[in-house]
Amino acid sequence: MSAAKLRRRAQRDTFGNSFGVLLALAGSAVGLGNLWRFPYLVGQNGGAAFIILYLIFVALLGIPLMLSEFIIGRRSRANARGAFRTLAPGTRWDLTGFIAVLCCTLILSFYSVVGGWGIEYFYKALRFDFTMGLTGDLSTLFSGFTASTWRPLVCHTLFMLATGLIVAYGVKNGIERFSKVMMPLLFIIMIGIAVRSLTLDGAGAGIDYLFRPDWSKVTSHTVLDALGQAFFSLSLGSGMVITYASYVKAEANITKICINTAVADTVFALIAGCAIMPAVFAFAISPGEGPGLVFITLPYIFSQLPLGGVIALLFFLALLLAALTSSISILEVVVAFAIEELKLKRKTAVWLCMSFIWLLGCLCSLSLGRFGSELSLFGRSLFDLFDAISANVLMPLNAMLVVIFLGWKMGRGVIADELTNNGANNPPAWYTKSLYIIIRWLAPAAILAIALFQWLG
């Protein structure tokens, strides 16, 4: 390796310690996916049966896939594209990295718009709008707001600026420090809300719904939704784990980090379920309200609840924090690419990437309102289209290429090296062996089957 290359590598930022890595990874995983997407999918798919399928997918596919991305990132110590260039020089595997960067660009553009909605609702909660003075129907309020022109754009801009500011401070001083403070705070707030919800009269029906499976409600859609949610929630197939893992020190135990991240993410999803469903049942609202659950149903519940104003404030604060610790990880994928592949300084890279994604986000936001017909393609608004392309096409495609790359191109030796930290620790043989089989055979087959189902169905 040339001296210049060695120097550049030595200058790369790293996470401070394993706990910081865990909180940053969990911060990325825990986001709108847990607080907004998971509860409404549970509601639409009949409760406990969906949750059980989700848990199976997290354990059987999610964790091995996360480990695969981790291995690629830590071994190469490079951004999502550079990782493949380093591990398989002279091949076209680096396209996998381009897919990841494109995927994150699209995800962040609509994620930031939803984050902006979070800002608006937090502001409303600050003024105690939900418990006092709010007139009119909450559903019209929500659709009126999201379809308006300026307000959502201003909120999206604020959310994007906050994201960029944190990422500009770098991995250790920005991302790690922010996640270390915010994740415990988020945890405490969500536990508090869950306790309030669980102690409501009539909360029992909600708990039954969450934990007693009704298998008759399971359709092929439930299975697909559960798998898609497992991917989205663990941030898989987006290059995020590759990028973060590239900042992890060589002695970190990657099995432990990945399992802990998956457990933390799942615990958060379940806490969000416990915070929302018991209240939904206590107020006799249908749980299957869909994406509006958090922005329409919950504010209604807050308006009826004793101490509802304070709970609303805490809930939307939690939503914002969760969204921010995820959005910084999405931006970091694109920024790390710009720094290392386009040779830009971090600050320049952040400004450039942020501005471009901000612009796409503006188009997403406008596509939900006045410019709906101009800003739509194939009969979908740009907002929906970016969501669908990233979650249903680019993420599975990237995940598939990642496991094929690791299982077939890199092979068993590389996997064993990384799992054992080059022989320093000694996991049981069955573990390395079964992981290898999952990565080489099971995961690609499962992703392919599911993608085919989804695209053909």
Enumerate binding residues for ligand PHE (CB under 6 A). 28-29, 31-34, 107, 232-233, 235, 238, 240, 326, 329-330
Residue (36 or 302) nearer to ligand PHE, CB:
36
User: Which of the 8 DSSP states describes residue 344?
Assistant: -
From the DSSP assignment, how many helices (H) and strands (E) are in the chain? 23, 2
Residue (240 or 274) nearer to ligand PHE, CB:
240
The three-class DSSP label of residue 188 is helix
Residue (122 or 130) nearer to ligand PHE, CB:
122
DSSP letters spanning 100-124: HHHHHHHHHHHHHHHHHHHHHHHHH
Shortest spacing between CB 35 and ligand PHE, in angstroms: 8
User: Which of the 8 DSSP states describes residue 376?
Assistant: E
Shortest spacing between CB 3 and ligand PHE, in angstroms: 35
The token pair that represents 307 in the structure block? 């101490």
Shortest spacing between CB 11 and ligand PHE, in angstroms: 25
The token pair that represents 379 in the structure block? 């009969």
Residue (45 or 131) nearer to ligand PHE, CB:
45
The token pair that represents 279 in the structure block? 């209240």
Instruction: Name every residue whose Cβ is closer than 8 Å to that of residue 200 and which is 6 or more positions away in sequence.
Output: 278, 279, 282, 305
SS3 string of 403-441? Answer: HHHHHHHHCHHHHHHHHCCCCCCCCCHHHHHHHHHHHHH
Shortest spacing between CB 268 and ligand PHE, in angstroms: 9
Residue (297 or 326) nearer to ligand PHE, CB:
326
Shortest spacing between CB 34 and ligand PHE, in angstroms: 5
Residue (76 or 326) nearer to ligand PHE, CB:
326
Phi, psi of 376 (to 5 degrees): -140, 155
Shortest spacing between CB 26 and ligand PHE, in angstroms: 10
